[in-house]
Structure 1
Amino acid sequence: MSPARLPLTRALVGVLAAGTGRPCGLTVLPRVLDGKPAAYPYLILDSLRGQFTGPAFADWQADAAWTYQATSVGERADQVQWLGDRVRATLFDRTSSSWCTALPVAGMRVIDRELTYDADGESVDGSQGSIVTYVQRFTITVTPTA
């Protein structure tokens, strides 16, 4: 049995918002307390493909590796580069023995984190002016806990 993905996704939204100090929406523009769209810069987290490894014959639980995309959105390149730096620091900075930022998820343990894509975007002209994005993709591998 592989672990459920939704608890990890929700944990990532919370960890990214807390670690960057900026709002993070799950597949949508984040909203602030009064329901208005968040001010720039902000993050949008999207779930991408997943991979599963079969358990050993004596073990009924399987590991799962899920890929996510964090899109930093802003009005200026410096905003999204700064936010991209904060995403990297939040998810991938390590001490000699562990990650600096815990990613606690009930029923599973994070066993690996891998940044798979990290690139600046281009300005896109829109009705509200120019928008700049910075895209990062990463894979989180988890194993179920007892």
Structure 2
Amino acid sequence: MTRALAALVEKTTRRPCGIGELPRVEGKSGWEPAASPYTVLDSLPAEFGGPPLWDWHADAAWSYQITSVGERVDQVEWLADRVRNGVVGRTDDGWAHDLLIPEARVIDRELTYDAGGEPSASAAGAIVSYVQRVTITVTPA
């Protein structure tokens, strides 16, 4: 699930997405940190109710935080717009972009938190982040 969501974020933003850490890209001297803007995907603690997870008739909801990181507010707002469209964007026929999960079918996607850009200072200079949280609900395929 996590890798599929990270792949969707990368595809729809055309920017690197790290899973729980700064994304790395292949460079001249091997793998190196990605230049901004980029996203970081973090899995959030899950709460489950109803039948046990091994029951293939049960639905499960997974929550994630997607943090857009850049050097300017306009960069992270641009990236957050693309994340939003990629993950929860709709068309007349359904979701704007497919989220394919092995052995499961996505039945709901919800944007549960959408914050504005938050600037912070670091030794390397200014960094701006934009946090979005989503919940993806799946059912067995």
TM-score, with length taken from structure 1: 0.88
Q: What is the aligned length?
A: 136
CA RMSD of aligned residues (A): 1.5
Deviation at 1:62, TM superposition (A): 1.3
Q: Structure 1: which 4+ aligned runs deviate by more than 3 Å?
A: none
Residues 31-50 of structure 1: matches in 2 within 5 Å?
A: 31-34=24-27, 35-50=31-46
The SS at the match of 1:15 is: helix
Residues 88-107 of structure 1: matches in 2 within 5 Å?
A: 88-107=84-103
Q: Partners of 2:56 and 2:9 in 1: how far apart?
A: 32
Is 1:15 aligned with 2:8? Answer: yes
- Aligned partners of 2:76 and 2:117 also within 8 Å: no
The letter for the 2-side match of 1:100 is A
User: Cα–Cα, structure 1 residues 47 and 69, in superposed 2: closer, same or farther, change >3 Å?
Assistant: same
Deviations 1:30-63 (A, max 9, x none): 00113111011000000002233424xxx75211
Is 1:71 aligned with 2:67? Answer: yes
**Structure with greater strand share of residues:** 2
1:26 maps to which residue? Answer: 19
Q: Partners of 1:122 and 1:20 in 2: how far apart?
A: 20
- Aligned partners of 2:56 and 2:140 also within 8 Å: no
Residues 108-119 of structure 1: matches in 2 within 5 Å?
A: 108-119=104-115
2:47 maps to which residue? Answer: 51
TM-score, with length taken from structure 2: 0.91
1:4 maps to which residue? Answer: none
- Aligned partners of 1:123 and 1:130 also within 8 Å: yes
Deviation at 1:94, TM superposition (A): 1.0
User: 2:120 pairs with 110, 124, 127, which one?
Assistant: 124
Q: Partners of 2:43 and 2:14 in 1: how far apart?
A: 21
Deviation at 1:96, TM superposition (A): 2.0
- Structure 2: runs of 5+ lacking an equivalent: none
- Structure 1: runs of 5+ lacking an equivalent: 1-7
1:3 maps to which residue? Answer: none
